[in-house]
Structure 1
Amino acid sequence: MSSLTNQNIFTVSRLNSEVRLLLENQMGIVWLVGEISNFSSPVSGHWYLTLKDSRAQVKCAMFKGNNRRVTFKPKNGQQVLVKARLSLYEPRGDYQLIIDSMQPEGDGQLQQQFDELKMKLAAEGLFAQTCKSPLPEHPKCVGVITSQTGAALFDILDVLKRRDPSLPVIVYPTVVQGQEAAIQIAQAIGRANSREECDVLIVGRGGGSLEDLWCFNNEIVARTIAASQIPIISAVGHEIDVTIADFVADMRAPTPSAAAELVSRDNSHKAQSFMAKKRNLVNAMRHYISSQQSHVAQLLHRLDKQHPSVQLQQQSQQIDQLEVRLHHAAKQYLNSQRTQLNRLEHKLQLQSPAIQLNQQVSHLAQSEQRLIDAMQRKLLNTRHKFSLMAEKLDTVSPLATLSRGYSITQDSKGSVITRRSQIKTGDQLITRLSDGEVRSTVD
C-alpha cells in the first residue's frame, strides 16, 4: 500500500473516461454486420438499438445528425451493415458503438468493398491525373471490349458508323457480368495491348444493377486498366453509375454511345476536342476532389476523437435515459395519486348524505315495523283483557238475569218499575224479556 500514490488511484469517472479514449483511439472505425433488435427512436431524434448475431450482442447509438442520411427505416430483425466507432457511455460504463452510417446488409457489403478498394487504389496514386494517358486526337483504330451480343456494342457501332464510317473498329468480345467477367475483361485488355492494333480502347457495357456492374469494381480489372499502354475510355452503365474502372481509366464516358462520340470525328471535331479537354479537366477535378475528400475524411476522423460532439452525444444519450426515467416516475406518481383519489372517493361515498338518508329510511322502516308489531301485540292484549272483562260483566249483566227467566218493566219514560206505587191505570208499560219486549196497558 505504501507504493500507491494519488496518480495510481482511479476514480470511476476517470476510469470510464480513459477506457473511452482508449477504445476510440486504438480501434478507430469498424465495419459490422448484425441483426437489429430493441430499436427505439425517442423524441430527441437519436436512434438506440442492439446489433446481435447467434452468439453475442452489442449496444449501439446513432445520433440524428448521422441517421438523417439513412435511406430506409430500420426495424427489428433486419440485417444491416454499419460503419461505426467504438466508444463507452461513461455514466453507466456501457461499452457501445456510435454508428456513422447504416445500409442493408447486401448493398452495404458491396458498397463497403467499393469504398475500401477506392481508398486503397487512391492511396497508391492510381487515380492521379499524372498516371493518365491523353486520348489520341485522331484515332486510327478503335478497340471495343464488351459483350458481342450486348446493346452497348450495337450503340457504339451505330455512333461510329454515323459519325466516322471510315474509322476501323476491332471488337474484343468478353462476358461483362458474372464471376468470370473480371478475368475475361482483364485478359481482353491484355490481348489488345499485346497485339498493338488500336490506339484507343473502349471498355464497358450497358446499364444494370450494382451486382451486374460489379466486375468493373474488381481490383484485377482496375490494375489492368491502369497498366494499359493503350489509352482506355471507361463506358460502364448509365451516367449515374460510377465504378472503380471509371476512376482508373484515362477517360470516363457517361454511356457507351458517349464513348463512341469521344473517339469519332465529324464536322464539329474541334468542338469535340474542346469538350474532351473539358471533360479531362472535369475528370481531373473530380479525382482531385475525391482525393481531397479522402484526406478531409481522415482529418475529420482525427478531429472527431477530440471533438466536443462526443461529450454532447454522451450528454444527449444521458438526457434520453433521464427522459425515460422521468416518464416512468411520472406514470408511477399519477398511478399513486389515482389510487389515493379512489380511496378518498370511496370514503366520501361512505359519508354521503344519500347513503345516510337511505340508512335512516331503513332504520325508520324498521322502527315503524316494530311500532306496528308492538301496537298489534298491545291490541291483542287489550282485546284479550276486554274479552275477560266482558265475560265478567256478562255474569252480572241484567240481560243474563233475563235469560234465566226474569224480566224488567219500564214506564214510557224508561224508568224501571220496582214498586206498585209507581204506576196507575192507563199507563203504558214495556216489559223486557230475554228475547224481546212486551208492551202493555195498566187496567
Structure 2
Amino acid sequence: MTLQSNQNIFTVSRLNSEVRLLLENEMGVVWLVGEISNFSTPVSGHWYLTLKDSRAQVKCAMFRGNNRRVTFKPQNGNQVLVRARLSLYEPRGDYQLIIESMQPEGDGLLQKQFEELKMRLAGEGLFAQANKMLLPEHPRCVGIVTSKTGAALHDILDVLKRRDPSLSVVIYPTLVQGEEAAIQIAQAIGRANSRQECDVLIVGRGGGSLEDLWCFNNEIVARTIAASQIPIVSAVGHEVDVTIADFVADVRAPTPSAAAELVSQDTSYKHQVVSANLRKLSDAMHRSLLLHKQAFLHLQHRLDKQHPSYKLQVQAQQIDELDLRLKNSMLRQLSDWKAQLQGQHYQLQLHSPSKLLGKQKAHLDSLENKLTRLTDTMLTSNRHKLAIAAEKLDTVSPLATLKRGYSITQTQDGKVVTQSSHVHPGDTIITRLEQGEIYSKVETIKAS
C-alpha cells in the first residue's frame, strides 16, 4: 500500500490544513469574553494575545487591518468581549482565534446579547412588516405603559392635551428600569389587551444608559409586544436609542413626545402620517439592508478564506513568531557569550603568563640546584666504585700475573694450554709474555 493509493493517510501539513478548514467552516464567527494576557505588538502592527478565564485559555491574533478600529488600548488583565473566527495556525498545529472586533466587557457584553436576541427574533419573523398593525386613524382612547413618576409620562400627557384634549387616556403604571421592570411591562401590556379599553398603546420611557433601557431589550417584553392585539408605539429613550421593543412594535417613535403626536391628530395629521410611513419605510430598508449585509458578510467570509490575504496573514504571523524567536535566541546567545567571555577572562587572569613564568622559573631553579647536587653525588659515588672495581680487576687480571714472570700458552685457536694432552706434535703454540709473544712448534710431548 502506497501513500498515493490510500487517501486516508494524511501528511502533517494536509491534516492541519483540513482541520483549519473544518474549524472555519463549521464554527464560523463566535463571541468570546475573557481576560487578556501575554499581549504583544510586533513591528508588523499585528496584535497577539491570550484570552483566559479561571480554567482555560486560547491564543488569539488580531491583524492590523482590524485592530485599527479598536477604540481603546488593550492591556494585560483587561476583560474584553471579542468577535472572532476560529482557525488553526498550520505551521505549529495550534488552534487560535482570529479577532475581528474587540470592546470592553461591560457594554460590549450587553451589546452582544442585544445583537444575538435581535438576530434570533428577526429570524423568527417578529420584525416582519407583514405582522405589524396600522395605527387607528381616529383613536378614542390611548393607553400609556410607563412609570407613573417619570418625565416621559408628563411629556406624553402635555402633547396629547395640547393636540386633542378630548382624547381619553388610560395609564398602566409600571417599573421601566431594573430586574423586575421587564415582567411588569409585559404584565401591563397583557392587562391592556385583556381590558380592551384602548385603541392604541404607547410603551416607553425617557432616555438613559444601555443598562437603564435594558428591560426593553428583554425577550419577554418583545414577545408580549408581538402578541399584542392592540397596536403598540414604542417610545424608548431619545432618538439615538434603539431597543428590541422598537423593532417588534408596530411603530417606533424617536421620543415619548413624538409617540404622543403619532397617536393624536391635529392640522398636521397628514404630515405625521407621511412621516410615520417614511419611518416604516426606513425601518424596512434598515432591516432589508441588515439582512443583505449579513448575507454579504457571509459571502465575504467565504471569499476571505480563499483570498491570498489569508495566506499573507498566516505568513505575517509566522514571520512575527520567527522574529521573536530570533531575538530571543540572539539574546540567549549573547548572554552565553558574555558568560563564556567572563569565564575565559577569569581563567586568563588565573593562568597569566607572568605568574606562570615566575612559578616555572622558581621551579626550574630548584630543579637545577637539585640536578647539580645529584650530579656531584653520582660522580663521587661512581669514582669510588670505579676505583674499587679497578683494584679488583687488577687483582685477577692476567696482566698482573705476567708482570710477575709468568706466561700463558695458547693454541692457535685461542684455547689456553693447561695440560700436555691439549697439544700434539706439529702443533703451533703461542706463549704470551708481559711484553710480546713467542710462537713455538711442538716436536715431542712428554706426559707427566
Q: One-letter code of the match for 1:295?
A: A
Q: Check whether the contact 1:51–1:60 (CA below 8 A) recurs between aligned residues.
A: yes
Identity, % of aligned positions:
76
Aligned pair 1:52/2:55, yes or no?
no
Taking structure 2 as the reference length, what is the TM-score of the superposition?
0.71
Cα offset, 1:97, TM superposition: 1.2
CA distance in 1, matches of 2:313, 2:109: 27
Q: How many residues align?
A: 342
Greater shift in the superposed pair: 281-290 or 118-127: 281-290
Q: One-letter code of the match for 1:242?
A: V
2:260 paired residue number: 260
1:28 paired residue number: 28
Q: Check whether the contact 2:39–2:47 (CA below 8 A) recurs between aligned residues.
A: yes
Q: One-letter code of the match for 2:200?
A: V
1:124 paired residue number: 124
Q: Secondary structure at the match of 1:85?
A: strand
CA distance in 1, matches of 2:246, 2:3: 64
Q: One-letter code of the match for 1:271?
A: H
2:311 paired residue number: 311
Q: One-letter code of the match for 1:96?
A: Q
Q: Check whether the contact 1:119–1:294 (CA below 8 A) recurs between aligned residues.
A: no
Listed one character per residue, the Cα deviations across residues 335-384 of structure 1 (whole Å, up to 9, x for unaligned) are 99999xx9xxxxxxxxxxxxxxxxxxxxxxxxxxxxxxxxxxxxxxxxxx
Q: One-letter code of the match for 1:246?
A: D
Cα offset, 1:312, TM superposition: 2.4
Cα offset, 1:44, TM superposition: 2.1
Cα offset, 1:305, TM superposition: 4.0
Listed one character per residue, the Cα deviations across residues 287-335 of structure 1 (whole Å, up to 9, x for unaligned) are 2222322333333344444444332221121122233345557778999
1:149 paired residue number: 149
Aligned pair 1:275/2:275, yes or no?
yes
In structure 1, runs of 5+ residues without a counterpart are 343-443
Q: Secondary structure at the match of 1:202?
A: strand
CA distance in 2, matches of 1:334, 1:240: 59
CA distance in 1, matches of 2:194, 2:301: 45
In structure 2, runs of 5+ residues without a counterpart are 343-448
Q: Secondary structure at the match of 1:18?
A: helix
Q: Secondary structure at the match of 1:234?
A: strand
Listed one character per residue, the Cα deviations across residues 398-440 of structure 1 (whole Å, up to 9, x for unaligned) are xxxxxxxxxxxxxxxxxxxxxxxxxxxxxxxxxxxxxxxxxxx
2:169 paired residue number: 169
Q: Check whether the contact 2:205–2:236 (CA below 8 A) recurs between aligned residues.
A: yes
Q: How does 1:98-109 map to 2 (within 5 A)?
A: 98-109=98-109
CA distance in 1, matches of 2:263, 2:70: 40
Listed one character per residue, the Cα deviations across residues 83-127 of structure 1 (whole Å, up to 9, x for unaligned) are 222211112222211112222222222122111111111111111
CA distance in 2, matches of 1:297, 1:139: 44
Q: Check whether the contact 2:234–2:246 (CA below 8 A) recurs between aligned residues.
A: yes
2:87 paired residue number: 87
CA distance in 1, matches of 2:38, 2:103: 18
Q: Check whether the contact 2:239–2:254 (CA below 8 A) recurs between aligned residues.
A: yes
Greater shift in the superposed pair: 173-182 or 20-29: 20-29
CA distance in 1, matches of 2:253, 2:27: 40
Q: Check whether the contact 1:141–1:200 (CA below 8 A) recurs between aligned residues.
A: yes
Q: Secondary structure at the match of 1:74?
A: coil
1:323 to 1:213, Cα distance in 2 relative to 1, 3 A: same
1:166 to 1:71, Cα distance in 2 relative to 1, 3 A: same
Q: How does 1:303-382 map to 2 (within 5 A)?
A: 303-325=303-325, 327=327
Q: One-letter code of the match for 2:238?
A: H
Q: Check whether the contact 2:3–2:9 (CA below 8 A) recurs between aligned residues.
A: no
Q: One-letter code of the match for 1:158?
A: D
Q: One-letter code of the match for 1:101?
A: S
Q: One-letter code of the match for 1:189?
A: I
Q: Secondary structure at the match of 1:187?
A: helix
